[in-house]
Amino acid sequence: MKAAVYNEYGPPTVLELTELEKPQPNDDEILIKIYAATVTSGDVRLRGSDFPPLFWLPARLIFGLFKPKKKILGHELAGVIEGKGKNITKFNIGDSVFGTTTMLNTGSYAEYICVPQEWKHGVISLKPVNLNFKEAAALPIGGMTAMYLLEKANIKAGQKILVYGASGSVGSYAVQLAKQQGTFVMAICSSSNFDMVKSLGADSSIDYKKEDYSLLEDKFDIVFDAVGKTTKARAKKVLNNEGVFVSVKMLTTEKSEHLKRIKELAEKEKLIPFIDRCFPLNEIVSAHEYVDKGHKKGNVVIEIKK
């Protein structure tokens, strides 16, 4: 099978397309023929070993001190089950599925992957019936992260929410999920993305390049940092007395119930994945170079099978 591998940390050019042996499922695994994957912020950080100083050494100990332990990146996917082990009860061959590869020893930048039916850190489910594989692949990480952090902030109807980085993957889902809760949403992004975030439900927008949100007179119940580029200290300036700050820098947990809810919302057309660009697997370097520029809107998809 074709797969994009990397044997050292560094720029996008460390990713190389190569031929590997097709995996075979163990008794508790399903074999997925991958149709689509994405380039997430987690993929970019792992590729470049770009971790905050405080977490650099612990992260290197987990993911590989001198070279990566996980040779194939790709944190989310959508595809079709082509094989399964004898202990699999929840899925059948031919099922279309989507989910994550979190903490598995391989990722989704490949034509095939074996994943457990259930495991501690990641999730897999039947694909939303109304989405194509590219759209479904772009849902799990961003959607579940936004849902987890909004729940952590105890979001309620009638609140005012500020989403910093509203045009990114997590931000685009945070805007949609917050609006469904009956809140007022202010989106912080570049002015070129105002139309995008408005289409997702944002009530107002501010260009972070032209205006400092922390100087606003308005007060908010939640400040949601969707890109890890603002701070609690700045957010406090616009939070009310009981206001809550949440950030993608916080530890999050993937939950099966969250993936189920995301699937249901997508099927009701209440949660829409925004896809900026698609790249074929053989252009994986270009895909990472594009994301490295820091200007992507929503999600960047890797198309593995047309």
- In terms of domains, do 29 and 118 share one? yes
* pLDDT(132) > 60: yes
Reported confidence tier of residue 45, pLDDT bands at 50, 70, 90: confident
* pLDDT(64) > 70: no
The answer as to whether 265 is a domain residue is no
Task: For the chain, give the percent of residues with pLDDT over 70.
Answer: 94
* pLDDT(20) > 80: yes
- In terms of domains, do 117 and 27 share one? yes
CA-CA distances (angstroms) from residue 215 to 168, 229, 232, 245, 276?
23, 16, 14, 16, 31
The tokens of 224 are what? 């949601």
pLDDT at 305: 82
∠ Cα 257 260 263 (to 5°): 155
- In terms of domains, do 56 and 76 share one? yes
- In terms of domains, do 185 and 229 share one? yes
The answer as to whether 131 is a domain residue is yes
The answer as to whether 264 is a domain residue is no
Nearest to 15 by CA among 293, 286, 304: 286
The answer as to whether 255 is a domain residue is no
State mean pLDDT over 63-82.
88
Alpha carbon distance 93, 84 (integer Å): 7
Reported confidence tier of residue 49, pLDDT bands at 50, 70, 90: confident
- In terms of domains, do 34 and 82 share one? yes
- In terms of domains, do 120 and 233 share one? no
Find how far residue 104's CA is from the centre of its chain: 16
Phi, psi of 99 (to 5 degrees): 165, -155
pLDDT at 63: 66
The answer as to whether 105 is a domain residue is yes
Give residue 198's domain range: 142-247
State mean pLDDT over 116-125.
95
Mean pLDDT of the chain: 94
- In terms of domains, do 44 and 61 share one? yes
pLDDT at 295: 84
The answer as to whether 200 is a domain residue is yes
pLDDT at 58: 63
* pLDDT(51) > 80: no
- In terms of domains, do 287 and 193 share one? no
Rounded to two decimals, the pTM is 0.94
Alpha carbon distance 168, 175 (integer Å): 10
Q: List, for residues 241-290, the tens digit of each pLDDT value.
A: 999 999 999 989 999 999 999 999 999 999 999 999 999 999 999 999 99
Question: What is the CB-side half-sphere exposure of residue 222 using CA atoms within 13 A?
Answer: 29
The answer as to whether 261 is a domain residue is no
- In terms of domains, do 70 and 86 share one? yes
- In terms of domains, do 228 and 280 share one? no
State mean pLDDT over 93-110.
97
Q: List, for residues 203-223, the tens digit of each pLDDT value.
A: 999 999 999 999 999 999 999
The answer as to whether 254 is a domain residue is no
Which residue has 């890109």 as its token pair? 227
Alpha carbon distance 105, 69 (integer Å): 8
- The residue type at 269: E
Q: How many domains is the chain partitioned into structurally? A: 2
pLDDT at 66: 67
CATH number at residue 198: 3.40.50.720
Buried b (16+ CB within 10 A) or exposed e, 281-293: bebbbebbbbbbe
SS3 sequence of the chain: CEEEECCCCCCHHHCEEEECCCCCCCCCEEEEEEEEEECCHHHHHHHHCCCCHHHHHHHHHHHCCCCCCCCCCCCEEEEEEEEECCCCCCCCCCCEEEEECCCCCCCCCECEEEEECCCCCCCEEECCCCCCHHHHHCCHHHHHHHHHHHHHCCCCCCCEEEEECCCEHHHHHHHHHHHHCCCEEEEEECHHHHHHHHHCCCCEEEECCCCCHHHCCCCEEEEEECCCCCCHHHHCCCEEEEEEEEECCCCCCCCHHHHHHHHHHHHCCCCCCCEEEEEEHHHHHHHHHHHHCCCCCEEEEEECCC
CATH number at residue 120: 3.90.180.10
- In terms of domains, do 189 and 105 share one? no
Torsion of CA 137, 143, 145, 147, to 10 degrees: -160
The tokens of 230 are what? 């603002």
Nearest to 114 by CA among 1, 212, 215: 1
- In terms of domains, do 128 and 10 share one? yes
The tokens of 196 are what? 């995008």
